[in-house]
Amino acid sequence: MLKGRHLLDPRDLTIEETDNLLELAGDIFLQPEKYSKLCEGKILATLFYEPSTRTRLSFEAAMMRLGGKVIGFSEASSSSVSKGESIADTIRTISCYADIAVMRHPKEGAPKIASMYSSIPVVNAGDGSHQHPTQTLTDLMTIKSLKGSLSNLTVGFCGDLKFGRTVHSLIKSLSRYENNKIILISPEELRIPNYIRKEVLQKNNIEFIEVENIEEVIGSLDILYMTRVQKERFFNEEDYIRLKDSYILDREKMKKASENMIILHPLPRVNEISYEIDEDPRAAYFLQAKYGMYVRMALILKLLGVM
Ligand code: CP
């Protein structure tokens, strides 16, 4: 039962719960009218202390398409946080108004703190460079629909593996399915954090390698997960400028990829996928964004105990 629980980390859901959620999301995608009134009378609160397009708006659209209503703020400056209110007091207050809360925050662990003071389910919509579990559900739904399975895949993660929270969450999740191989492609300065290498990959005996050159490995991939260099996490603009165009996926590089490889990206993109690639049938990142709404509809239904 997911009713009343928080979602802070992809591993808060068992594999069985994750698979059930994806199945429900698939059914909502096929028959949305069946679900269109199930959240009548319910309210979702979006507490966004950092910018967002996909996560916030897909959660809001998800609740509205389930017949519910939405309240919230899209920047801290328009809430009483700007007057110095704590996360604990904010969520205690929001718990009086809404049935479920979705929080994005620049500080790692902020949604966890909120969950400790909340009487309603709290969903982590991205905390600093840490985790982004609902993006992972979106990614898993896309992979399952295009590859038919979440096992036996060779997945390349390319770009900012240090600060990219979507990468950390998806690796955590994929490491629970059988026989997945991970290829980490990044410049030296943007390598995966040690806790993911040790506590997730090594601890779960996941086969993985770390390389700098995408062209060396692109031909072996079932999935290429491109990421943006996370400008907002850099302390020094010079470093960002030096690293921001480390990888640009273009037609030339895609000639070396398999015909069946799919390209994912959590978006937003900056320069790392050339616009010419959007026409390539292997580009799946806008389908991925679309699935985000359906998977969040499924999550809302489960956490509210409606299904
Ligand atoms: N993928 C993702 O989290 O996008 P937003 O920052 O637009 O929400």
Using one digit for the tens of pLDDT, what is the confidence trace for 144-197?
Answer: 999 999 999 999 999 999 999 999 999 999 999 999 999 999 999 999 999 999
**Helix pair 133-147, 54-65: axis angle to 10 deg:** 80
203 and 215 both lie in a single domain: yes
Query: Residue 307 in contact with residue 38, Cβ under 8 Å?
Result: yes
157 and 64 both lie in a single domain: no
**Token digits for 296?**
């969040």
Question: Which residue's alpha carbon is at the smallest distance from atom 6 of ligand 1?
Answer: 52
243 and 97 both lie in a single domain: no
Tell me, yes or no, if the pTM score tops 0.75. Answer: yes
Cα angle vertex 2, ends 102, 75, to 5°? 0
Please, which pLDDT band fits residue 231 given cuts at 50, 70 and 90? confident
**pLDDT for position 78:** 87
Going from the Cα of 187 to the center of ligand 1, the distance in angstroms, rounded, reads: 23
215 and 272 both lie in a single domain: yes
**Token digits for 236?**
């020094």
Q: What is the pLDDT of residues 26-39, one digit of tens each?
A: 999 999 999 999 99
Domains: count for the chain: 2
25 and 171 both lie in a single domain: no
- The C-alpha atoms of residue 44 and residue 175 are separated, in whole angstroms, by 31
CATH number at residue 217: 3.40.50.1370
**Token digits for 38?**
């199930």
With a 6 Å cutoff on the Cβ, whether 54 touches ligand 1 is yes
Nearest atom (ligand 1) to Cα of 267: 1
In a domain, 148, yes or no: yes
Domain housing 297: 10-131+292-303
HEC string of 5-67 equals CCECCHHHCCHHHHHHHHHHHHHHHHCHHHHCCCCCCCEEEEEECCCCCHHHHHHHHHHHHCC
